Chain A
Amino acid sequence: MFGLLEGAGFTQVRSTVVPGFGFRKESTRDAAEAYGVKAVLFTAQKPAT
């Protein structure tokens, strides 16, 4: 996502992992862990000119 934002022309791209995110069901939680699934907060700006 970070790369997609920069590639589209956004600047000041920032990301922070969302603490506390997780899946309720154990099977989904295990699969998510295996794939390194995280929730992330992204911020970015479109250039002013």
Chain B
Amino acid sequence: MTDVAPLLADEQAPLEGVIKGEVLRMYQEVAEYPEREFHFYHGRQAAEMFGYEPEWLDRAPPGAVASFAGVGNPHLRSRLQAGEVVLDLGSGAGLDSIIAGWQVGPTGRVIGVDLNPTMCRKAEAHAAASGMRMACHEGRMEDIPLPDVSVDVVISNGVINLSFRKRTVIRELFRVLKPGGRLSITDIVSAKQLSQSIVNDPKLWAS
């Protein structure tokens, strides 16, 4: 999706608040009621579609797998190494953080950031149940609650498209990465400018 914020930030500020609320509501619903149907595929079915290894999905806590709502597989190109510090932007129920944690091992660290504090606690619980420690910070991707040059790798899965201020989000990723650090993110893009009716529809934007 294109970055509409520079032209319309003032006009769209109220809408941005509505969309933030809808994003919180929708992804919390995925976490609490994973048996429901949504616009998008989710859970194990989606993870398998994107090439997550069955061994990962068998080993991870069922709740983390069932609530998976990504749009691809950032692990395919993340090349994580033992000891690295990883930021999982929009960590949700924690499946990607857990997989990253297995790859960086006990000498590494995974930090989640999520808009929803309930999801943060859920992700931490899922991580603990899978034998790893993960710290999740409630925060906005446009203002990541981490110091400059503090992470080696950023992973993210279907999150940045939810922001009205994508340019700001990307600048934040650059800020928190160490020199030589890298990112591996999957996200949704559109070839055409979305119509105003879609931009103005919180449910469509959030999905």
Contacts and interface: CB of A to CB of B under 8 A. Distances in A.
Interface in A20-49: 20-25, 28, 31-32, 34-49
Contacts, number: 118
Interface of B: 3, 37-41, 49-50, 71-74, 76-77, 158, 160, 166-167, 170-171, 173-174, 177-192, 194, 198, 204, 207
Given A1-B166, A10-B174, A38 B40 contact: no
Contacts of B72: 18, 21, 39-41
- Classify the secondary structure of A's interface with B: mixed
Given A9-B174, A46-B177, A23 B40 contact: yes
A35 to B, nearest CB: 5
Given A8-B173, A23-B39, A49-B179, A43 B3 contact: no
B188 A37 contact: yes
B49 A1 contact: no
A38 B185 CA distance: 14
A20 to B, nearest CB: 4
A42 B185 contact: yes
